[in-house]
Every structure is written in structure tokens, then in C-alpha cells.
Structure 1
Amino acid sequence: MKRRIVEIDEGRCNGCGDCIPGCPEGALQVIDGKARLVSDLFCDGLGACIGACPQGAMTVREREAEPYDERRVMEESIIRGGRSVIAAHLRHLTEHGEQGYLREALAVLEEKGIENPLDETKRKNRAKQGETHGGCPGSAAMRFGGQNDAIRQEAASAKSELTHWPVQLHLVTPLAPCYHGADLLLAADCAAFAMGGFHSAYMKGKSIAIACPKLDSGIDRYVAKLTAMIDMAKVNTITVAIMEVPCCGGLMTIVRQAQEKASRKVPVKKVVIGVRGEVLDEEWI
């Protein structure tokens, strides 16, 4: 069957192993100095490992592969990892809406007489004790204070710096007039929601495209569109605004792949935004 599955570029991979913690299913191992997908059966194709790779060696592609086997993953990998690994895996399935796999995982635990570590009462007790989230960092539930009325009013009256439509990367035309010779802002979907002053700080004077490297399909088309923007639309610069969560780093991987395919070279700036809206890093790379 055809399904989405992780693919590793061995030429890029340096064997650092940073991707391993991002795969609670145990589909990845470092073997002979390279990260390897040890079994199609174990890879759920959700790409939680991608943003953890500092070399941009990991992508998710659709190809022929054995169906993902939740029961086998539980029996041969997850349960052996102990309570923390079980909890991380269950959160991973919950946060990505994989209810079928979740039911199957819970059934395996019940059959083997293993307590569900995410039992509601115990989860609440652990939360009171300050236990941190152990699943996908980008999906960790957090709550923090909102804006006061004065700041909210100022934000509501702020001018929009959006100059064109559409903006979703699947929908934009690389050769649209708005991109010719423009300074391109490629932003993660969540960035503008996290940062109150995003329009004035990063969108002003730029043509924008937005994407999510973790949830969007057709990443190859993203690379092709960005390559066309560099070579044919001749964009002047590219600013990549990503969130601090690991999976968001995949947007930089897409840009690097486009740079490699393009015949022109353009300056690229990376901006990392925290989940509370603060700028954590900003640098030309």
C-alpha cells in the first residue's frame, strides 16, 4: 500500500541520533554511524522526528510500504521502553488524532494487564505536581496569561501588512507578480498567531507564503515552488519564520533543498519565535 513514511538522506545524516527521541515508536536506530528506518511497520509517517534533525536529512514521502502495525509496535517496542515511553506514545497518538491506533494501543495494554499511564485521575495528580509533557514538544498543552485590555485594543487597530492573496504555499503561484524581485517571508502557520506584532515586525514590505512542514502533504511541491521563486521570480531574500517546536525546523529543510536545486543564490534569514510570542533567535544563514 502507498502511505507517508520517513525517508533519510544518508549523505546528509551524520549519525548524531537527535532524531531518535522524537520517535517513541522505535522506528529509528543509529546503525553504522547513520540513522536508519529499521522497519516500515513501526513508522507512522507523522514526522515527529524531522525537526530534530540538524542536518536536514529527514523528509516524509509517500511510497509503497507495509501498513503501520500498532499492535506490533506496542508489543515489540513501546512496552519494552517502560512507563515513560508508553505515555509518550499514547500522547503522540492522541495529539495527532489517531483514535484508531490509540484504541488498539489501549487494548494491548489491557490485554497485558498494564496500567494506562495517562489515566485521567493520575494525570491530573501529576499535573499538580508539575510533571512536564513527555510527548511531541510541539503539541504540549500550555496555558499562559493573555493580553491586557490596552494591548488588545492596540493590536485590534494595528494595520495589516498583507499585500496579496492567496498565501498558503500550495495555493500560491511562484511567478505571480507579488513575488517578482520581492523579499519573501516564508512563515510557519502558527507564527502570526503566537506573535502579536508579527505583521509590523516581519510582514511589512514582504511577500508572504505560509506552510506547515509537519502536517502539510506534498513537500516536494513546496521545494519546487521555492526553487521557481528563486530562479524564475528572482526573489531578493528569504526570511523563514518558524516556531521553537522541533517539527517546525522542517521548514528550514525545505528551504535548504530549494537552495540546492536553484541556480541562483539568495540570502536566507532564520527567525525562531517562542510559543509565547518572543523572538528567540534571528540570524542570516
Structure 2
Amino acid sequence: MKTKRQMVKIDEAKCDGCGNCVTGCHEGALQVIDGKARLISDLLCDGLGACIGECPRGAITIETREAVPYDEVKVMEGMVQHGPNTIKAHLKHLRDHAQKAFLKQAFDYLKKHKIPNPLEEEMTKKKEHEPCGCPGGRTMDFREPCACDDGAGEDAPAAQSQLRQWPVQLHLASPMAPYFQKADLVVAADCTAFAYGNFHNDFIKGKAIVIACPKLDDGQEIYVEKLQALIEDAKVNTLTVVTMEVPCCNGLLAMVKQAAAAAKRKVPVKHVVVGIQGGIKNEDWV
């Protein structure tokens, strides 16, 4: 099965640089540079097209392409054509989203082609810089242990969050995010975390997670493609599918099975069924 993915395409002739699309892109993958909207990172473009409705000129469309492994060298070849400001924005985006390996490849490309590195001075001085885009969709990796007080005082929280990443919604998640690499991945139906009281400790602790609703979410073919990419490209170690006992939840397991069957590498898949009253109804490897 050849995997397809949706990507935004910008018609520079129509673009007037108004910037409306930038606020519509929750991933921060769009910026206005030198008077034109630029896709500075297709790595994290979710292809949902929220930016299209924000464009008054009709300069943005969605096109479906055959998915190929991300190639930073090819991306840099495109970025350099748009000048130093676009190069700088792309490098900052990689750094903001902790894509260290791709950032190094980009630096190597600039060095090889004797192109000035616009981040060199900032990197030398180790300056902090402000992230771009809406924080609601920005990839965040906080896997370091939290320096929280473990005391059991009156004001201590009942349970500590075990979430180590953001975002968690599968449409917004990028398979290339660093916290997915060789991780034990939980694929959970939206309702499970509300039904199962100890969800964080029993399912999220030490793992990466994505959530989806097989009944209400649109674009579920994209879910299958992303799950396949998580298996093949992120090389996740295991998959644990957590669903509710209600029949409409079965679609999530079906999507995971479809992705696993299509993937070139194989991973063990566990299915956990949560009851509507909070207990575990069933748990086995599939």
C-alpha cells in the first residue's frame, strides 16, 4: 500500500502576505517572510487545511502526494531558493520542535554549500528565542522527570500527570516528533481517560500517546497513514490500543490493525478494553 499524505500548497502569485493563514496554522509551519506566506516545515504540517479558510485570496490549496521519507537535504534545497529569512525561519522551527538530527543535517547542508548560517551567532551564544505559532499545536517534549514535591500534605495533588508530550490528538501529532522515536506507544480512544481513573499511571507513564475517536473524527484514512508512519519511521517499540467496551470504539483497533498489516516492520499490538464503569474488561495481545 502506497501511503498518501495531504500537504498545503501556496500560490505565491496570489499571496499578498496578509498573514491570516499563520494564525490558522496550529503547528506553526506557516510564516510570512519577505511579504509572502511560506511553508517553513512540511515535517509538521498536518494537512487539515485550517489555514485555507483564513486566506482571503485563495492562495492556499491542499494537494495529496505520495508520502516519501522526510529528506532534510531536499527541504533545504527548496528553502535556500527563498533566501536567508526563510532559511532562518526553517532552522528555528526545527530547533523549536527538538528536531536535533534534522537541524544538524540542515547545518551540514549550509556548510557544504558555503551558505551563511543565520543561527550560528545565536547558537554560539546559546540564546533563548520565542517559539512561533499557536502553542496549542506546537510540538512539546517534556520527558524529563518533574521536580515535584512528593510529600503528602493537604495541598498535594491527588495524582501527578504522566504526560510527557504535546500534542496528543492524532491529527496534530507528527510521527517525526522525538518522543515517538522507538517509544512504547499508546493509541487511546478519547473517552478512555475519563472512564478509567488511574489512566495516567497505568497507561501513560513512561510511554508516548495519541488519542482519537473512531466514531466522530473526520479524516480517518489519515489516521491509518500516520499510524503506519509511526511504525515504520518512528520505529515504535510496541502499540497498546485502549478502547471503550462500546461497539463504536472497535474502529480504532481496526485502524491500528490495518496500519500494522501495511507496515514494512512488525510490532506487537496489545488491546485493552475499558468498561463504561471504569474497570478493565479485557486485555490481550492481538
TM-score, with structure 1 as normaliser? 0.45
Looking at secondary structure, tell me which structure has more helix per residue.
Answer: 1
